[in-house]
Structure 1
Amino acid sequence: MKYFIDLHTHTIVSGHAYTTLLENVKQASEIGLKILGTSEHGPKMPGAPHIWYFGNETKIPRKIKDVIVLRGCEANILDCDGNIDIPSEVQNKLDYMIASLHDVCIEPSSVENNTKALLSAMDNPNIHILGHIGNPIFPIDVEAVVDKAKQKNVLIELNNGSLNGAREGSFDNCKNIAQVCKEKQAKVILGTDSHISFDIGNFSKVQKMLDAVNMPEELIMNTDEKKIVEYLKGKGKLENFNLE
């Protein structure tokens, strides 16, 4: 299967990544991606940029080389009420937001509390993607999360980085999440979680998992740039943008 979109990527701005936005775009162009999203960690992550960085992302050109660039962030979920570290006035300036649980920003807890944090985060209409929810240090009620994601039209991320050593023990969890998404016909998006340009667009680990569950192409958002543009427009984003 061919993929044309990668929305979970980081640059040196996140503090623990190793390449610039232009280096990421160059890699995206060379491998044939149509859309690259840049999604730095929210400011509560140690080493992450100041909140002004996110408010100023409108300065990033919409297209660099032959790659469309979407301006996003990976917000940190801070508590069981689903609060995040990006204020609403900045959320409204971004093209998309990933919301994730990171143990330096929220203490790993029980299945009930971890699940509540994700369910509550999805009540924010500016949350479009739940990031790496297969992390074993944050056990969740997968069916409850997928049900709410489908109800709220939030995309479940299947994270290649989680299967590439970033979060040990994620494979079985992620496979189960993929299976539940398939059964419930919930939309998924693949993310590399790249922290260096060489990982941009590399979904090789997650592809093996998708093959194992025989995931239908129509549930995967990365296969056509029109899918993600139409999705975000439906969420009130990219109002003045057209692919043509």
Structure 2
Amino acid sequence: MTTSFKFDLHTHNELCGHATGTIEDYVQAAVKNGLNVIGISDHTPYFHSEEDHPFPRITMARSGFSNYIEEVLRLKEKYANQIEVLLGIESDFFPELNHVYKQYLEKEPFDYIIGSVHFVDEVSIFKRGRWEGLTSAEKVTTKENYYRLIEQSARCGTFQILGHIDAMKGYYPEFSTIEVDAIDHTLRVIGESDLVIEINTSGKTKDSGGWYPADDILERALFHNVGVTFGSDAHIPERVGDEFDEVKRRLKEIGFTEWNYFVNKQKQAIHL
């Protein structure tokens, strides 16, 4: 496998209500941008809700789940001679509800499942005002709770990839300066669980800028033998593969020698 092999495992589409473009638009963008592999990974429905579509601008409807899978599989066949299309999905992680999500996700032929923590203490990690008025101690507790959830997601057995593991800095850049021991503990668990974390280039669309996670976390991830993958987290087709070459170069500088994608939940290692 050549060193020019390009892939992107984190893309969304119009089904989640906060991205633009059809699934096929993202596949076509990947072909145009010279990718070898494109993973489609829109947000899971809220499987734990009695409503079909309680938050139309956050996730797909439960009634649209099977259509999503069928469409990705159709495109996998249609574009087989141009690009490898992978069936992925990004799942919220709620520890007390993981068994509900698992029931739905394990039935389907996913190549990989990205597990992402989007809520801490029942508040969105991207809620701008959530840090206002907190004491230093409360900020530490919040960050520790975030990484405790990520650790639980690593242990739960549902995921192959853990998504954007410092995304809580998105609308609160000072998050990165809150000192906690939990990050190293969580990275050690991720490494022991043989999962990978993504380098997610969508941080550039938030106040924090940069990537998720930051370089210091990637250096610690390497120390703890945590594997890595690439995801643009594209919500518009034009961002497919965004900054792939820059991430690859930076990972090599940090000391990584390979990164990974998944087919049928089996890790495929690519030399950097």
TM-score category, normalised to shorter length: 0.7 to 0.9
Give the secondary-structure state (helix, strand or coil) at the position aligned to 1:40: coil
Which of 151, 161, 184 lines up with 2:202 in the alignment? 161
Match of 1:23 among 25, 42, 46: 25
CA distance in 2, matches of 1:82, 1:121: 11
Aligned to 2:8: 6
1:82–1:121 Cα contact (<8 Å) kept: no
Deviations 1:73-111 (A, max 9, x none): 1111235x5738734233331221111122499425623
Q: 1:185 deviation in Å?
A: 2.6
Counterparts in 2 of 1:76-91, with a 5 A limit? 76-79=92-95, 83=98, 86-91=101-106
- Please provide the CA RMSD for this pair: 3.1
Which residue is 2:116 aligned to?
A: 100
Kindly indicate whether the alpha-carbon contact (under 8 Å) linking 1:82 and 1:120 is maintained by their aligned counterparts in 2.
no
Higher Cα radius of gyration:
2
Alpha-carbon distance between aligned partners in 1 of 2:34 and 2:209, rounded to the nearest angstrom? 31
Change (3 A) 1:126 1:53: farther
For residues 93-131 of structure 1, give each alpha carbon's deviation from its aligned partner in whole angstroms, at most 9, with x where no partner exists.
122111112249942562332122111112232211111
| Unaligned residue ranges in structure 2 (runs of 5+) | 47-54, 126-140
2:162 to 127, 130, 147: 130
Number of residues of Structure 1 aligned to a counterpart in Structure 2: 226
TM-score, length-scaled by structure 2:
0.71
Name the structure 2 match of 1:63: 77
Q: 1:42 to 1:229 in 2, by over 3 A?
A: closer
CA 1:90/1:157 → structure 2, altered by over 3 Å: closer, same or farther?
same
Note the C-alpha offset of 1:55: 3.8
What is aligned with 2:233? 193
Consecutive unaligned residues in structure 1, runs of 5 or more: 222-226, 236-244
Same amino acid, percent of matched pairs = 23
Q: Does 1:145 align with 2:162?
A: no
For 2:101 and 2:8, how far apart are their aligned partners in 1? 21
Instruction: Judge which range, 49-58 or 63-72, deviates more.
Output: 49-58
2:226 corresponds to 1:210:
no
Q: Which is worse superposed, 203-212 or 35-44?
A: 203-212
Structure 1 residues 172 and 87: CA distance shift in structure 2, 3 A: closer
Q: Distance in 2 between matches of 1:23 and 1:161?
A: 18
Give the deviation of 1:201 after TM superposition. Answer: 0.9
